[in-house]
Structure 1
Amino acid sequence: MVATRNHPKEFQTPPTESPTKRSTRTSSGTTPARTRAASPPDSAGRASSSTIATRARTSSPTTWSHTPSNLTLGWLAISLPLVMWDTGYVLLRPYTMPGGILHKPIWAPYELYGTIDHVYGWKAYHAKSGWTAAQGSVNAIETLAYFVYLYIVYTHGKPEKKQGRGAPELSTLGKLAESRTVTGRMAALAVLIAYTAATVTFWKTVLYWLIEALSGFDNIGHNTPIDLLFLWIIPNGAWLVLPLYMTYVYGAEIIQGLTMATGEKKTQ
C-alpha cells in the first residue's frame, strides 16, 4: 500500500477498444453480408461503371439493313426469264427439241445450241444422260427462290439514292448503283434466300464445267475456238461471275449483321 501511494506516476489506464474495431469483429462472425457491403468505394465504383457500360452496349439500337443495288436486281431481271426458258426446254424434252410440237417458235434457237453443246442435243437424250434433267430441276428451284427474294425486296424495301452494297460509285453508274433498302426481319430473310440461291447457282455451274473438263470435253470438244468462245464460254461464264459476285456481297452483309449482333461497332 505504501509503495502504491509513493509511486512517482499514476498507473496508465489500459487502452479501450475503438467502437469501429469492436463492431467489425462482432459483425465478422455473425453477418458476412455487412463485411461485403463495406468494400472499398473504388471497387464499387468500378463495378457500377462496368454494369452501366454493359447495359448501354446491350440496349444500343442496331441499324443493319439489306441494301442490294439496282445493278444486282437488274441482273436477276435479265437472267430469270432466260433460266425459265432454258428450264422449260430441258424439262419438256423431247417436245421442245427439233421436230417436237413445242419446238417452234419458243425454243427454235435450241436447234443450233444443241449442236454446240450435246448436253442439250439428241446425243444426251438418247444416251439417257441424267445430268441435263438434273441441272434443269435445280434451275427450277433456284428460280423459285429468286422470285421469293425479289418479292420481299420490292414489297418491303424502298429505293434510296445511296450506293448499294458492292456496287460501283454513284458517279460511275448513276441509278444502277443506287440501292433498294430492306430492314428488319424481312431483310435477314431476303439476304439469306438470295445468298443460298446464288451459292447453288455458282457451284452448279462450276460442276457443269468440271464435268466437261474431266470427260475430255465430250460434249463441246467438237466446236471451233470461235464458236466455243461466243456460244458456250461467254454465255455460261455469266452464270459464274454474277452469282459469285452476289455470294460475296450478300455474304459480307450476313457477316456484318452477325457482327453487329455481338455488340461490336458496325463496319462497312
Structure 2
Amino acid sequence: MAAKTHWFISLWFAISIPIIFWDAGYCFMRPRSMEGGDLHWIWKPYALYQKVDHIYGVKALEEGDGFTNAQSLLNIVENFMNIAYLYLAHVKGTPAASLLGFASAIMTLSKTALYFLQEHYCGYCSIGHNTVHDLIFLWIIPNGFWLLLPTIIIWQFAKDITSALHVAERVSKKEASGKKL
C-alpha cells in the first residue's frame, strides 16, 4: 500500500523547512545574528522581531535564558522529521510516512503550545510590552499559523492512519476466518 499524500501537508512541510532552519540559525548564532552583529544581514527581519518578542532579544541572551535555543534544537529534530516525511511519502511511497508526519505535526503543535503557554505563565514577560496591534499582527497571527496548520495536519493524518488500521483489521479478520475453514 502506497503512502497517502495530501498536497497541503506536503506544501506546509516544504515551506516550513527553510523557515525553521532560518529561525534556528538566528537563535544559535546569537549575538552575531542579532541587530549589530556581523551576520545580521542574513536575519534582517529579526531586528524587529527581537523587539517584539524579547525571548529572541538581547535581554534573554544576556540572562542566559535557554528556552529559545532548546526550542530551536527541537525545531531541528522536527525539521529532519519533515524532510524524512517528504522523502518517505514522495520518493519511497511508504505508508510509514503518515506516522512520521503525524509525529512531526504533534511535535510542532506541542512546542508552539508550550511557547504560548510559557508567555501566559510568566505574565507575558517577553511580549507584554507590545501594543495590541503589534501583538496581534507581529506575534499572535504569525505564531498562530504554527498552531492552526499542524492541528489540521494532525486531524488529516489521524483520519488516514485510522482508516488504514480499519482496513488492516478487516484483512486480518478475513485471513483469520479463512484459516479456520
Using the size of structure 1 for normalisation, the TM-score is 0.62
Aligned to 1:94: 31
Q: How does 1:189-208 map to 2 (within 5 A)?
A: 189-208=96-115
- The residue type equivalent to 2:140 in the other structure is I
* SS of the residue 1:237 aligns to: helix
For residue 120 of structure 1, report the CA deviation from its aligned partner: 0.3
2:119–2:127: 8 Å Cα contact kept in structure 1? yes
- The residue type equivalent to 2:88 in the other structure is I
1:175-194 CA distances to partner (integer Å, 9 max, x unpaired)?
xxxxxxx4xxx21x211111
For residue 92 of structure 1, report the CA deviation from its aligned partner: 1.4
**Inter-partner Cα distance in structure 1 for 2:166 and 2:2:** 13
**Inter-partner Cα distance in structure 2 for 1:200 and 1:70:** 20
Which piece of structure 1 moves more, 79-88 or 230-239? 79-88
1:116–1:223: 8 Å Cα contact kept in structure 2? yes
**Inter-partner Cα distance in structure 2 for 1:144 and 1:258:** 26
1:134-183 CA distances to partner (integer Å, 9 max, x unpaired)?
10000000001101111122213xxxxxxxxxxxxxxxxxxxxxxxxx4x
**Inter-partner Cα distance in structure 1 for 2:140 and 2:44:** 21
Q: Does 1:76 align with 2:13?
A: yes
Which has the larger share of helix?
2
2:149 to 235, 238, 242: 242
* SS of the residue 1:221 aligns to: coil
Aligned to 2:74: 138
1:19-46 CA distances to partner (integer Å, 9 max, x unpaired)?
xxxxxxxxxxxxxxxxxxxxxxxxxxxx
- The residue type equivalent to 1:147 in the other structure is I
- The residue type equivalent to 2:43 in the other structure is W
Q: How does 1:80-229 map to 2 (within 5 A)?
A: 80-104=17-41, 106-156=42-92, 182=93, 186-187=94-95, 189-229=96-136
**Inter-partner Cα distance in structure 2 for 1:243 and 1:112:** 26
Which has the larger share of strand?
1
Using the size of structure 2 for normalisation, the TM-score is 0.90
- The residue type equivalent to 1:77 in the other structure is A
For residue 202 of structure 1, report the CA deviation from its aligned partner: 0.2
Point out the structure with max Rg over C-alpha.
1
**Inter-partner Cα distance in structure 2 for 1:73 and 1:191:** 11
For residue 87 of structure 1, report the CA deviation from its aligned partner: 0.7
Unaligned runs of 5+ in 2: 172-181
Which piece of structure 1 moves more, 224-233 or 74-83? 74-83
- The residue type equivalent to 1:234 in the other structure is I
1:36-66 CA distances to partner (integer Å, 9 max, x unpaired)?
xxxxxxxxxxxxxxxxxxxxxxxxxxxx553
1:201–1:239: 8 Å Cα contact kept in structure 2? yes
2:3 to 57, 66, 70: 66
What is the RMSD of the two structures over their aligned residues, measured on CA atoms? 1.5
**Inter-partner Cα distance in structure 2 for 1:193 and 1:137:** 18
* SS of the residue 1:113 aligns to: helix
